[in-house]
Amino acid sequence: MKHALLLVSLFVSVTALFPQKSVGVMWYQKSTMADDVTKGFAEAMKTGAPAVTIEYQKDLTKEDAKTVYARFQKEKNAVVFLRSDGATMAKELGGTKPVFLGACNNPEQLGVIKNMAAPEGFMTGVTYSIPADVHFGLYKKVFPSLKSVTLVVHSTHSGAPVDRAGTKKACTANGIAYNEIAAASLEEIVAGVKAVKSDLIILGVQNVVFDNADKIIAVTGNTPVVSYDIKAVKKGALLSLSADDVKLGKLLAQQVIDVLGGKKISEVPVKFDDDPLFTVNMAAVKKYGVVIPFQLMKRANKIGE
């Protein structure tokens, strides 16, 4: 009986904290990353704020996204706008309701938030971003003789310039030659990759790239392919150091709960995954004949065995 009364008391307290609150979650174009972030978000909201109603609008066209965003800004208490393109659209359109970003690259480098420790506007959120120099520290341990890389990005994606800038900077710092395949379509990407002469190919964090990693890898021959995102490793890339998107979704939910509960956006810093996943595709290890140091393999999430 006491247990039942406690549950009722908790439900009443949560309901009182979020009376008739509603949140709109949206993104445009298909995105497996946004799907994963939403999974974690929904789980955490169900547990932490069950009284909040949530409307999901996914895989929208760009024009429909503008319409939905305007409606959410009018009707909802908060908006979750996923993907890097969503972050830049929200910045462009503005808003009076708080906006939470996720499944996106570094918001500061995207130009949408200046101070990620204390966001100055109406936006905060989570990012999958991991500094390129951290990635290159890993690459140098696996490929100690690395002299050149080619970055592959989807040129029309808002996150491509972020991947480019970070990778170029890391290459300069490490004395590594930088090359790039930047194209607007998968067909152009595949055609460009066929001619790559670098020691290593790096796949950027754009859905056209990682969702089609198997098609890209199929034309790379014996050149090792790594990725900034785990999804490409599941499709044949050698390794990645990447954020856990479901975990980020749960962190995103807590940010929404905090702001709906009275916190200011400036009091809710942008969150990162501070313990990213190191994933190795063992079939690719065999294919490329790569020897990964024992200390790295001890902490690796191994797939494709």
Confidence of residue 15 (pLDDT cuts 50, 70, 90): very low
Q: Residue 244 and residue 241: Cα distance in Å, rounded?
A: 10
Res 19: pLDDT: 64
Confidence of residue 58 (pLDDT cuts 50, 70, 90): very high
Class of domain 18-128+244-267: alpha beta
| Cα dihedral 61, 67, 70, 74 sign | negative
Residue 113 has pLDDT above 80, yes or no: yes
| pTM over 0.85, yes/no | yes
pLDDT tens by residue, 72-103: 999 999 999 999 999 999 999 999 999 999 99
Confidence of residue 241 (pLDDT cuts 50, 70, 90): very high
| Cα dihedral 103, 108, 114, 119 sign | positive
pLDDT tens by residue, 139-154: 999 999 999 999 999 9
Class of domain 132-242+277-303: alpha beta
Residue 17 has pLDDT above 90, yes or no: no
Hey, where are the domains in the chain?
18-128+244-267, 132-242+277-303
Identify whether the C-beta of residue 119 lies closer than 8 Å to the C-beta of residue 113: yes
Could you please report the per-residue DSSP string of 107-172? Answer: HHHHTS-S-SSS--SSEEEB-----HHHHHHHHHHH-TT--EEEEEEETTSTTHHHHHHHHHHHHH
Could you please report the per-residue DSSP string of 17-58? Answer: HSTT-EEEEEEES--HHHHHHHHHHHHHHHHH-TTSEEEEEE
